[in-house]
Amino acid sequence: MGKSLTLKIIEKKIISGDLSPTNEIAIKIDQTLTQDSTGTMAYLQLMRINPSEIKVKNALAYVDHNMLQTGFENMDDHEFIRSICKKYGITYSKPGNGVCHQLHLENFSKPGETLLGSDSHTPTCGAMGMIAIGAGGLDIATALSTGKYYFKAPHILNIKLEGELIPPASAKDVILFILKEYGVKGGIGKIIEYTGSGASSLSLTQRATICNMGAELGATTSIFETDEKTYEYLDFQGRSEDFIKLKADVDAKYDQFISVDLSSIKPMIAKPHNPDNVYEIANINGIKVNQVAIGSCTNSSYEDLTKAAAILKNKKVSEHVSLVIAPGSSSILSMLAKNGALCDLIDAGARILECGCGPCIGMGQAPNTNGVSLRTFNRNFKGRSGTDSADIYLVSPEVAAASALKGYITKDVPVFDIGIYKKPSLAMQNSGFFIRNIADKNQKIIIGPNIKELPVQSIPNENLEFNTVFIGGDNISTDDITPSDSKMLPFRSNIEYLSSFCLTRIDEDFPKRAKNNNPGLIVAGENYGQGSSREHAALTPAFLGIKAVLVKSFARIHKSNLINNGIIPLTFENPSDYEHIKMLDKIKLSDISINIGSKDSFQITINEIPTKVRLEISQRERDILLQGGFLNYISMKGENY
């Protein structure tokens, strides 16, 4: 039986563990990326670990999230990261250069290599035939220090794409269609490998859109084989020497198989407030829109923005629509400026934002009260835009541009031709934005007043008693746990301040209740912690005295972040027990060293009533929990972690 591409790469990179599904393995990491909103914490942790040298071939630090400098805090974070990069020899991408995933794809992605990033959309680079995984900041600090990353050997899901897209259907519609069919839990524990003639028909940036939103499926990562389209892209970026041909064997064995006929895909839309609330647009034509936003790491490529320009050329954006466009990279912006597409966008009435995440993470452009915003982004969680009452819909750039003209959501995209804009034979480069550093041990780290000490991790007592302080439903996102908009993001390195907003979008009394009933337990339903990789969603509950989370199921990155920060991630053995648990119920978890130390399934009591729970983690993770978190664990292990 032949091998999948995923297996071929992982086998080359494996350091320890065996590859049977759900077993923990460690792989060698070739590249890391951080962005600024998770990066400050990751680098505070790196400083604590203080490695003598960086152990990955290529480490990048992008500044793309916290770019509204309304106070000193954000630029202080940038300066902190810039100084860290000089000390450790990490390449620094200045604010304004673009979104980390788009920039990484353009400049550093390499077939066959591994990438670990402190951002959930790191799998975007899977389009380049890489194993690219999103993780918490502490995992990146560890990968930088040791060159390795531990995760569960995944199931490999083969999605065979057949046929070809019929315009205006696009790559965004493909991934929205998959989300409609399989939901935000559909990819948990899986690596998705795309193959088939339909996959070969897609351009590299279309593949990137699909890999990007694999994060919304909960997948560990997604990957495409490499081919002429990969070569073309690398050649355009001036990196043809990085190309290698990578394919699965014809008789490759997969754990699961699905086929999707691209020619049957219609323009799709995700309605509020979850990316899997997907419908064909034909069924919901005609909703009035107030704002249209084109950009984000999902849909801000040269191809996407020239499509928007070609649709908008010589036309006017509807009077009641505010159209905002954030190019994915300064290189894309330069090319649009040079070939006239930028002028056409501006002439139609588009507001051009700087290259970065911008409205995708609520950094400006919050919609009006009860407003409707149509976005080419990947997440539409309630409140994420900065306006709680707004309805956010997710669509392709084609549908976004057409709807901006009409003022209503429409599937009727005018016929357009991107050939009217001359694409250069070589991508324009703005090398002034990348600072390539050589490690300098003597570099002083610049720490502004808003950057606080890392919270202390404490070793748990042998017998724990705690109170239920939160009960929530399914699909609670890390945006719900640690809200992030222009008011919150400047405080990513100030856990005490952020903790006063923890879970307040769902339960505004939570921080107070947690403090008054410390230690506490959080209870929730399925897919707890979906979305962002922000470890603040573990650090802030830990700060408020949360010792365990008991849910029906977890999202992957958040579960690791809980463990790294000493919070015990429990699941109900019998999911119907969720119905019986009430606020302020008393929980007892005894014999920690045996139960946490070695058992997959054990008993706790809820108001003295015995209840079975599960703890499905590796022995390494058990040892981390027994030490109260990863930083304690590595101090105990010394060099051998």
Site for ligand SF4 contains 296 (CB under 6 A): yes
Binding to ligand SF4 in span 60-89, by CB under 6 A: 65
Residue that the structure tokens 């922000």 belong to? 534
Which residue in the set 4, 32, 34, 38 belongs to the binding site for ligand MIC (CB under 6 A)? 38
Site for ligand MIC contains 484 (CB under 6 A): yes
Concatenated DSSP letters of 235-255? HHTT-GGG-------TTB--S
Vertex 313: Cα angle to 333 and 279 (nearest 5): 85
Binding to ligand MIC in span 65-94, by CB under 6 A: 65
Which residue in the set 360, 394, 568, 631 belongs to the binding site for ligand SF4 (CB under 6 A)? 360
Is 555:530 a contact under the CB 8 Å cutoff? yes
Which residue in the set 41, 234, 361, 524 belongs to the binding site for ligand SF4 (CB under 6 A)? 361
Site for ligand MIC contains 121 (CB under 6 A): yes
* Least distance (Å) between residue 436 CB and ligand SF4: 22
Site for ligand MIC contains 158 (CB under 6 A): no
Vertex 171: Cα angle to 170 and 172 (nearest 5): 90
Per-residue CA distances from 439 to 51, 143, 239, 360 (Å): 12, 17, 25, 33
Q: What is the phi/psi pair of residue 81, to 5°?
A: -65, -40
* Least distance (Å) between residue 92 CB and ligand SF4: 17
**Residue 38: contacted member of ligand SF4, ligand MIC, none (CB under 5 to 8 Å, by partner type):** ligand MIC
**Residue 534: contacted member of ligand MIC, ligand SF4, none (CB under 5 to 8 Å, by partner type):** ligand MIC
Token readout for 344 is 């056409």
Q: Which residues contact 430 (CB under 8 A, 6 or more apart)?
A: 97, 330, 331, 334
Site for ligand SF4 contains 557 (CB under 6 A): no
Site for ligand SF4 contains 119 (CB under 6 A): yes
**Residue 82: contacted member of ligand SF4, ligand MIC, none (CB under 5 to 8 Å, by partner type):** none
Concatenated DSSP letters of 43-76? HHHHHHH--SS--SSEEEEE--S----SSHHHHH
Which residue in the set 121, 152, 536, 547 belongs to the binding site for ligand SF4 (CB under 6 A)? 121
Which residue in the set 297, 427, 521, 524 belongs to the binding site for ligand SF4 (CB under 6 A)? 297
Which residue in the set 30, 76, 119, 398 belongs to the binding site for ligand MIC (CB under 6 A)? 119
Alpha helices in 61-190 (DSSP H): 72-88, 100-107, 137-146, 171-182
**Residue 533: contacted member of ligand SF4, ligand MIC, none (CB under 5 to 8 Å, by partner type):** ligand MIC
Stretch that binds ligand SF4, among 166-174, 265-273, 353-361, 521-529 (CB under 6 A): 353-361
SS3 619: helix
Q: Is 605 exposed, middle or buried (0-12, 13-18, 19+ CB in 10 A)?
A: middle
Binding to ligand SF4 in span 373-432, by CB under 6 A: 377-378
Per-residue CA distances from 165 to 170, 192, 399, 511 (Å): 7, 20, 15, 49
Per-residue CA distances from 343 to 304, 352, 501 (Å): 16, 10, 42
Q: Which is nearer to ligand MIC, 41 or 606 (CB)?
A: 41
Q: What is the phi/psi pair of residue 507, to 5°?
A: -145, 100
Contact footprint for ligand MIC (CB under 6 A): 37-38, 65, 119-121, 361, 484, 531-534
Contact footprint for ligand SF4 (CB under 6 A): 65, 99, 119, 121, 296-297, 357, 360-361, 377-378
